[in-house]
Amino acid sequence: MKDLTSGNEGRLILGFTAPMLLGNLFQQLYTIIDSVIVGKFLGKEALAAVGSSHPIIFTLISLVIGVASGGTVIIAQYFGARNFNKVKSAIGTLYIFLFWASIAVTIIGITFSESIFRLIDLPDELLKDAKVYLNINFIGMLGFFGFNATSAILRGLGDSKTPLYFLILSTLFNIAFDLLFVIVFKWGVAGAAIATVIAQGGAFVTAAVYLNRTHDVIRISWKEFEFNPEIFKKTVQIGLPTGIQHTLVSLGMTVVQGIVNQFGTGVIAAYTAATRLDSLATLPAMNFGMALSTFVGQNVGAGKTERIKSGLKSTLLMSSVISLFVTGVMILFGNYLMQLFVSPDETEVIRIGKEYLVIVSSAYIVFSAMFAINGVMRGTGDTLVPMFITFFSLWLVRIPVAWFLSKEIGEQGIWWAIPVAWVTGTAMTYFYYLTGRWKTKSVIKFQSGEK
């Protein structure tokens, strides 16, 4: 557990971000490795099928993950206030919620998978593989939610290193199982999905056993867990706007996928590969925002709100430098990066993917600023306004622009809509930050005598 309430703000945030970022890089490798192996050994059609599944998965899990993030904020604030009884109660409440949520998501996902694919105009030749891949992933939701809950709880307690170790182990197993099931056993896209489910479930079980034996606060045991309605209400109050925000983003990505699907298998495959690289490239900005959120949460709980502004400045500087570097990599080496996913003979897929990377990476620095400012607001418990800003920039800017420009200039119009939406969202977020209203949203008012 790491105390973020004293010491140099920039160093603390960087030190907290680094292992969390490395861990999330490994977590992203789940989908990237699936895509690389599927694209290289099964072809662009299988790659397109797998890529079409991911927006649907994220849409159905986003609400749950968002609500759970409210629990992380509460845990961070209680930990900052040194109220350890409430910390334990919040942990138990979060696990119980995610257990039942995983069952609900599994049932909904499997029941409606084919209907959703048809709704977004997935080409018929991709439907079978896409449905198989999607359904297997939904079967593994319990392991996915369990491990992500454990990681989120540890981050709230200031521990960003332990989740990293289990993610590395999980990713290595994922690679091994991918190679075994897809190349040796020749199970197709089903093999890639099974490999991911086994790796995620194994990471959760391993983390549970380890924490039960070594951690003072966390005990993953149904006998010890209790559901606290008051804490759950606070969790929902903080996390629901974030959950709705994440759902709007994921649902928007599904709508964008539907626009992409109209251009055929080649463009779908290029979009799949390019967005895998894009998701990797934006991780630093997202993790700096998450780290800042925990930093702000702990300092609010400790009554040290004067540290927030300095923490934001440090985060903006560090994330901006990294974003500019990543932009340069995407522009200079985009062609070679795309060749990780498909054969060099697939020149059209590589060309389209490179166009995506050049256009979208030009706005990474704007994206990083948006996540940093949002991190401040989430850390204080102010998640409602960012939700509305996300709704506006995605649904009233990105999707209409993508639809209109795709009719005028082809698939490039879909790519250009992304920077336009980021610029809009960042401007609105910054203006709201200047109002200072987020300062009044803290869930916990620190009292020196509170136990």
Q: And the tokens for 105? A: 């998501």
Give 325-360 pLDDT, tens digit per residue.
999 999 999 999 999 999 999 999 999 999 999 999
Query: How many CB atoms are located within 10 Å of the residue 286 CB?
Result: 20
- pLDDT given at position 451: 33
Give yes or no for residue 446 having a pLDDT over 60: no
Q: What torsion do the CA atoms of 131, 133, 138, 140 make, to the nearest 10 degrees?
A: 160
Name the band, by pLDDT with cuts 50, 70 and 90, for residue 444. Answer: low
Q: Give the pTM.
A: 0.81
Q: What pLDDT shows up at residue 306?
A: 82
DSSP letter (8 states) at residue 181: I
Residue-wise pLDDT tens digits, 168-200? 888 888 889 999 999 999 999 999 999 989 998
Residue 409 has pLDDT above 60, yes or no: yes
User: What's the confidence (pLDDT) of residue 450?
Assistant: 35
Residue, of 362 and 306, whose pLDDT is higher:
362
**129-160 residue pLDDT tens:** 999 999 999 999 999 998 888 887 777 777 76
Residues 6+ apart with CB under 8 A from 52: 117, 120, 122, 126, 130, 257, 261, 268, 272
Which pLDDT value is given to residue 139? 95
pLDDT at 383 over 80: no
Cβ proximity of 425 and 390 under 8 Å: yes
